[in-house]
Amino acid sequence: MMKKSGVVGLSLTLAAVLMLSACGSNEGNTNKGTAATNNGTAQEATKEPAAEPVTITLAGWGASPEEQDLLNQTLKEFEAKYPNVKVKYEVIADQYMDVIKTRLIGGEGPDVFYLDAFEAPGLIERNVLEPLDSYVTEDFDVADFEQPMVDAFKQEGVTYGFPKDFSTLAMFYNKKDFAEAGIAAPPATWDELKAAAAKLTKKEGDKTVRYGFGVAPELARQMFMIQAFGGKVADDKGNAAFASPDALKGLQLVTDMHNVDKSSGEPKEVGAGWGGEMFGQGKASIVFEGNWAIPFLESNYKDLDYGTAELPTVNGTKGTMAFTVAYVMNKQSEKKEAAWQLISFLTGKEGMKTWTSKGFALPTRKSVAQELGYDKDEMRSAIVAGASYATPWQAGSTLPTIMSNFNNQFVDTFMGNSKLEDAMKKAETVANKEIAAAK
């Protein structure tokens, strides 16, 4: 699951329509038992297998052929276990969230669908997702999930989705470059990273042909740096807050390596499209990437000798980012019994083991990661280790606005065209004006 950021918020029209639809009748819901709604009331729900044949819809975005085969296998296993439930799976290849939102407006949303943590706060606020806590039985074992991944789909203690897979960021390092530079082990602290990057940077004349550290100067990769000294991306009201002195301390570490030490660079400075390509081409000795980089490197740079490690500590504290996706239920679904059966199977131990068995995606359940050996895997153990302390890539429903303004200004200051404090204050001010205007 390669993480690419960049989404748009819901329009005022969408907000109005979804609010109206959320206030509509629950007729057609034949569930038994109780399931909590957003306002604390109860509605009928059941956890029993569907007695009558039913077809439910599942929507997701495209994946590699190998991943698609794994999902198909998992769905076949589900249908074998629940023979009265058939799953109609649809791949939405382009503009996934726009399509989902449009269908939710028209009352034609799928029963179950993928939801990225980045988008979750916006849909939760619109009251279009079914709360799932009361569907959960003891054998589902919620405590088995990595806590940050579950928390990414909660609001005010209510769970709206269960995570199907994840990746954190780990440090990928070139073993050959390290040996040539006399570096015995991957850096464990930011100071060690600075020192290693300086040794690893290679120049030919005035041109840097290899950076010690390859950087993605975007909020999705820098949020944990903002938090390292106690900073925040957004405050409790959803306003941008990344220009505080504490936030700037972490960001300054990143920009200084580029503008002062001259030991880091972003992919486009060396003609690469992203960090994995920059690393594979030998134009960066260290990059922070996720699980998606492993199959990419194996396919495209078979002879590359590299290792992975947890990210270096910043301000004495471990940190990394987490990118995760959940299965969620459409609140307007008329087939909630079967929809929950599908969600509970896909995010349960059995279904998750099949889905993550090849390592293209990593399990959010600790027991499955251990059973499949990812917690001890040479390349993936560092990614798994970061799950317990990672910062999920989300910060409320205003994050799309905050992100675009941050990215525009941070790239500018990373390239040395503006002072960090001035750039972040400008980005924060513009973001908050746009947030206020949208209310």
Find the largest Cα–Cα distance for the chain.
Answer: 74
Query: By C-alpha distance, which of 164, 170, 148 is closest to 292?
Result: 170
Beta strands at 306-309 and 170-174: parallel, antiparallel or unpaired: antiparallel
**Which pLDDT score, from 0 to 100, does residue 51 have?**
65
Helix (H) or strand (E) holding 276: helix 275-280
Terminal Cα-to-Cα distance of the chain (whole angstroms):
33
Q: What pLDDT, in 10s, does the model give residues 365-395?
A: 999 999 999 999 999 999 999 999 999 999 9
CA distance 322 to 310: 13
Give pLDDT, residue 17: 32
Q: What is the pLDDT of residues 298-310, one digit of tens each?
A: 999 999 999 999 9
Picking from 342, 355, 361, the residue whose alpha carbon sits closest to that of residue 88 is 342
Q: Using pLDDT thresholds of 50, 70 and 90, give the confidence band for residue 52.
A: confident
The two tokens of residue 155 are 């609001």
The answer to whether the 12-168+323-392 and 170-319+396-438 domains have the same CATH topology is yes
Confidence of residue 105 (pLDDT cuts 50, 70, 90): confident
Q: What is the pLDDT of residues 203-235, one digit of tens each?
A: 999 999 999 999 999 999 999 999 999 999 999
Amino acid at 154: K
How many C-beta atoms lie closer than 10 Å to residue 95's C-beta? 12
C-alpha to C-alpha distances, 346 to 20, 83, 118, 299, nearest whole angstrom: 31, 15, 21, 28
d(CA 391, CA 319): 7
- For range 266-272, the mean pLDDT: 97
Asked: is 170-319+396-438 a CATH 3.40.710.10 domain? The reply is no
Helix or strand (DSSP H, E) at 175? helix 175-181
Average pLDDT over residues 259-278: 97
Q: List the chain domain ranges.
A: 12-168+323-392, 170-319+396-438
Cβ 312 vs Cβ 386: under 8 Å: no
Residue 320 near residue 390, CB atoms below 8 Å = yes
Helix (H, G, I), strand (E, B) or coil at 282: coil
Q: Flag whether pLDDT at 36 surpasses 60.
A: no
Determine the Cα–Cα distance for residues 201 and 192; give it in Å rounded to an integer.
14
| pLDDT at residue number 3 | 44
pLDDT digits (tens, 9 = 90+) for 54-95: 999 999 998 899 999 999 999 999 999 999 999 999 999 999
- Torsion angles phi and psi, residue 27, rounded to 5: -60, 145
Provide the pLDDT for residue 50.
Answer: 52
- Strands 54-60, 112-116: pairing kind: parallel
pTM of the model: 0.88
Whether the predicted pLDDT of 283 surpasses 70: yes
Question: H helices within 46-143, ranges in order?
Answer: 65-81, 96-105, 120-125
* Strands, E assignment, 97-201: 112-116, 154-155, 158-159, 161-168, 170-174
Instruction: Give the mean pLDDT of the chain.
Output: 90
Secondary structure of residue 104 in the 3-state scheme: helix
pLDDT at position 282: 98
267 Cβ partners below 8 Å, 6+ apart? 214, 216, 273, 274, 275, 277, 278
Taking CA atoms, 388 is separated from 130, 189, 359, in Å, by 26, 19, 19
Percentage of residues in the chain with pLDDT exceeding 70? 88
Residue-wise pLDDT for 388-434, tens only, equals: 999 999 999 999 999 999 999 999 999 999 999 999 999 999 999 99
Other beta carbons within 10 angstroms of residue 352's beta carbon come to 29
CATH topology of domain 12-168+323-392: D-Maltodextrin-Binding Protein; domain 2 (3.40.190)
Phi and psi at residue 233, in whole multiples of 5°?
A: -80, -40
- Find the DSSP H helices in 373-419: 381-385, 399-414
Compute the distance between CA of residue 398 and CA of residue 414 in angstroms, rounded to an integer: 24
According to the model, what pLDDT value does residue 26 have?
33
Q: How far apart are CA 311 and CA 222, in angstroms?
A: 12
Predicted confidence band at 35 (pLDDT cuts at 50, 70, 90)?
A: very low
- 364-375 in b/e form (b: 16+ CB < 10 A) is bbbebbeebebe
CA–chain centroid gap for 6, Å, is 12
pLDDT category at 49 given cuts 50, 70, 90 is low
What are the tokens at 170?
């780990």
| 3-class state of residue 246 by DSSP | helix
How far apart are alpha carbons 272 and 278 in whole angstroms?
5
Say whether pLDDT at 97 is over 70: yes
For residue 115, what pLDDT band results from cuts at 50, 70 and 90? Answer: very high
Task: Tell me how long the chain is.
Answer: 439
Token reading at 191: 């100071």
CB 32 within 8 A of CB 48: yes
Q: Provide the pairing of β-strand 284-289 with 154-155.
A: unpaired
Tell me: pLDDT of 254 over 70: yes
pLDDT computed for residue 73 by the predictor: 98
